[in-house]
């Protein structure tokens, strides 16, 4: 059959074109047109995203202009709107988080890829992936109930005593504020930066390490001299991506920063960031206040795009700088020959001097001792970084098990509705509607995002070697880094503009999750297809198979586990989403009643139950839901790693 198709496909231009060949050509044209249309859809989505936010922000822009960026008073009741406190809070918390997170993350990456025992590397990699996949709402409630009391009781008074109450640690020890928000962001960013930095270090060829070790270098010397420089672009890219995540984080910051729109006067003072102000005020605003909030969203989008472009530019510049020199571009260097001094004929000492070899031997022994001491000190520091990285994760899991373990062992917890609030004689409930609503929204989002994301990734990998493809690839990266709260604002505004009854509904929530998943799936597909050797494509094309069949059967078949991994990661990201669903799907606690009504989901249920209820039964149910989310993310992370391992095994076979 394949030979017959190959014979038909090799028909020359002067030979008659059979009906099967004509059908295959039309099918290939349709396939390429569908991939191109999906890529164009990403372009139109990004343009529509920016255009709609700009239109909705028009009244505030027209009335205040640049004054919004210069004033420092936010009082909607008096018609005063200012972006300065929110911008300052966003940059302060993100900068401090990066300052705390980067040394620890690099230490974890070095330990798990270079210094640590090999038997510990796989478990550490799994824990890093799990930490990066934990939903922000879980980090937020851990920060609210564990970290805030610790900061108020111990850390902040100690910092104030250390500096004598001088800046930047002035004011009362409230527990919530910029410093606490920065610590929570650092805990969230560490797994992401560490995992990406680990992959950058592992991408350096093993031969470079072995060459340094064969010359007598310690493992730290080999890493410093032979691994760091080639991996530097990937490490800096990971740091910039972590910075982008810190800028756009919403729920975790909103729970611990205080949400008071004031300029930061101290690391201990309460304040606000752009995402926390949006999630706290957007759903209850209208008119000029709503327009000013959308303008803040545009400012946040600009910051996210700037960080993304800066990361791409830095990585490209470092990659070009560290590229090997060609014969044409290598500068001419003069060879400097060492001067020699005359020595006595037949002797081993210079004229008028003492023998040189004892000094050389003593110096060499001293250098060896110093290098070994440095290696041991670096190892100790990496162990400390490992503890700082995984101690918060262990505390988070322990808190979730202690608070929600009793709920998840009840079978009725997964099938019943949440109970009404109470103080005494409380009845126990469950999260059945939230599980049902989460599965429905994920199914609806997958129906939209998976085909569109796969086709977009196929276009970028197979057909997108042109300016249009480069533009779409850049926009995919930009949309991947857009904060989820802005996606919620976009979908809410879109539905509110064209159908006011459905702005908060299951359909709106499903569309928001689809927009969130689409760029992740597209980028994962492009990366997976890029791992297939070009020779595989060329061999299949040489046999006469049409281009679209080579892509569908050969290329996609070769990287199927990686594609499954990308889709699982996108589902995990959407399953733990909170901010976008608070604006679009609502916070219902009842069973699904239709696409045009609000729907219950897990993450918003946790947010509302912990913040807006005083009933111990609802709080226990919220912790149980948080533990369920943790278990779901652990299963997704494990499934993704198993898929990658099966892919590696099949390639080895």
Sequence ranges of the domains in the chain: 88-322+375-396
Question: Residue 217 and residue 220: Cα distance in Å, rounded?
Answer: 8
Phi-psi region of 170 (alpha: psi -120 to 50; beta: other; left: phi over 0): beta
- CATH topology (fold) of 88-322+375-396: MetI-like fold (1.10.3720)
Distance from the Cα of residue 369 to its chain's centroid = 42
Task: Check: CB of residue 150 under 8 Å from CB of residue 391.
Answer: no
* Each residue's pLDDT tens digit, 253-309: 988 998 888 888 889 999 899 888 888 787 777 788 888 888 888 888 888 888 877
Task: Check: CB of residue 591 under 8 Å from CB of residue 418.
Answer: no
DSSP 13-71: TTSPPPHHHHHHHHHHHHHHHHHHHHHHHHHHHHHHHHHHHHHHTHHHHHHHGGGGGT-
Quick one: average pLDDT of 39-52? 90
**Rg for the chain, CA atoms, rounded:** 29
SS3 350: strand
What pLDDT, on a 0 to 100 scale, did the predictor assign at position 341? 47
Which is more confident, 648 or 253? 253
pTM of the entire structure?
0.81
Tell me which residue of 42, 129, 33 sits closest to 519, measured CA to CA: 42
Quick one: average pLDDT of 406-411? 85
What pLDDT, on a 0 to 100 scale, did the predictor assign at position 20? 66
Question: Residue 571 and residue 513: Cα distance in Å, rounded?
Answer: 9
Residue 10 scores a pLDDT above 50: no
What pLDDT, on a 0 to 100 scale, did the predictor assign at position 445? 92
Confidence band for 596, pLDDT divided at 50, 70 and 90: confident
For the chain, the average pLDDT equals 79
Question: Would you state the torsion angle of the CA atoms of residues 94, 95, 96, 102, taken in this order, to the nearest 10 degrees?
Answer: 100
Residue 434 scores a pLDDT above 60: yes
What pLDDT, on a 0 to 100 scale, did the predictor assign at position 511? 92
Which is more confident, 632 or 67? 632
Q: Is the peptide bond before 243 cis (omega within 30 degrees of 0)?
A: no
What pLDDT, on a 0 to 100 scale, did the predictor assign at position 92? 92
* Each residue's pLDDT tens digit, 84-129: 888 889 999 999 999 999 999 999 988 888 887 888 877 887 888 7
* Each residue's pLDDT tens digit, 307-365: 877 777 777 777 677 665 544 445 555 544 444 444 444 444 444 455 545 555 555 66
């Amino acid at each position: 059959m394949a030979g017959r198709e190959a014979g038909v496909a090799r028909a020359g231009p002067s030979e008659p074109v059979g009906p099967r060949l004509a059908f295959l050509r039309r099918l290939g044209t349709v396939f390429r047109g569908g991939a191109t249309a999906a890529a164009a859809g990403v372009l139109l989505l990004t343009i529509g995203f920016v255009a709609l936010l700009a239109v909705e922000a028009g009244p505030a822009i027209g009335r205040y202009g640049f004054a919004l960026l210069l004033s420092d008073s936010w009082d909607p009741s008096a018609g005063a709107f200012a972006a300065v406190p929110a911008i300052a809070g966003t940059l302060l918390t993100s900068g401090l988080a990066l300052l705390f997170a980067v040394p620890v993350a690099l230490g974890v990456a070095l330990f798990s890829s270079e210094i640590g025992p090999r038997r510990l590397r796989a478990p550490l990699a799994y824990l890093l992936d799990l930490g990066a996949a934990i939903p922000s709402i879980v980090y937020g409630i851990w920060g609210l109930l564990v970290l805030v009391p610790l900061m108020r009781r111990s850390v902040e008074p100690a910092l104030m005593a250390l500096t004598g109450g001088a800046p930047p640690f002035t004011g009362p020890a409230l527990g919530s504020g910029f410093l606490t928000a920065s610590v929570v962001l650092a805990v969230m960013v560490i797994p992401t930066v560490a995992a990406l930095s680990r992959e950058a270090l592992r991408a350096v060829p093993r031969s470079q390490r072995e060459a340094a070790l064969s010359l007598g270098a310690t493992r730290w010397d080999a890493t410093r001299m032979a691994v760091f420089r080639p991996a530097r672009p990937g490490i800096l890219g990971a740091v910039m991506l972590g910075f982008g995540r810190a800028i756009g984080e919403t729920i975790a910051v909103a729970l611990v920063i205080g949400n008071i729109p004031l300029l930061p006067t101290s690391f201990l003072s309460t304040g606000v960031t752009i995402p926390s102000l949006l999630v706290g005020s957007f759903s209850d605003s209208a008119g000029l206040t709503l327009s000013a909030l959308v303008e803040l969203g545009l400012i946040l989008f600009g910051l996210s795009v700037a960080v993304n472009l800066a990361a791409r530019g830095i990585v490209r510049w470092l990659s070009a700088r560290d590229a090997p020199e060609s014969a044409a571009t290598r500068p001419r260097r003069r060879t400097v020959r060492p001067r020699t001094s005359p020595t006595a004929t037949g002797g081993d000492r210079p004229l008028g001097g003492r023998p040189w070899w004892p000094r050389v031997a003593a110096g060499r022994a001293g250098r060896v001792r110093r290098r070994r001491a440095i290696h041991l000190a670096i190892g100790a520091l990496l162990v400390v970084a490992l503890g700082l990285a995984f101690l918060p994760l262990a505390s988070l899991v322990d808190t979730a098990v202690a608070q929600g373990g009793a709920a998840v062992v009840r079978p009725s917890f997964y099938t019943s509705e949440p109970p009404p609030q109470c103080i005494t004689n409380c009845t126990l409930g469950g999260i059945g509607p939230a599980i049902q609503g989460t599965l429905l929204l994920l199914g609806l989002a997958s129906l939209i995002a998976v085909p569109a994301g796969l086709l977009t990734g196929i276009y970028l990998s197979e057909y997108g070697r042109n300016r249009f493809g480069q533009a779409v690839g850049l926009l995919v990266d930009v949309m991947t880094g857009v904060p989820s709260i802005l996606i919620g604002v976009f979908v809410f505004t879109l539905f509110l503009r064209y159908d006011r009854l459905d702005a908060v509904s299951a359909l709106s929530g499903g569309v928001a999750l689809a927009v969130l998943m689409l760029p992740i799936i597209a980028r994962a597909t492009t990366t997976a297809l890029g791992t297939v050797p070009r020779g595989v494509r060329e061999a299949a094309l040489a046999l006469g198979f049409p281009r679209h069949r080579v892509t569908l059967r050969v290329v996609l078949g070769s990287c199927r586990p990686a594609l499954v991994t990308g889709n699982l990661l996108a589902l995990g990201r959407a399953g733990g989403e909170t901010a976008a669903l608070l604006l679009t799907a609502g916070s219902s606690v009842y069973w699904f009643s239709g696409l045009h009504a609000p729907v219950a989901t897990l993450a918003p249920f946790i947010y509302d139950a912990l913040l807006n209820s005083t009933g111990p039964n609802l709080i226990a149910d919220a912790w149980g839901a948080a533990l369920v989310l943790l278990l779901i993310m652990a299963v997704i992370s494990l499934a993704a790693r198993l898929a990658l391992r099966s892919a590696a095994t099949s390639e080895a076979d």
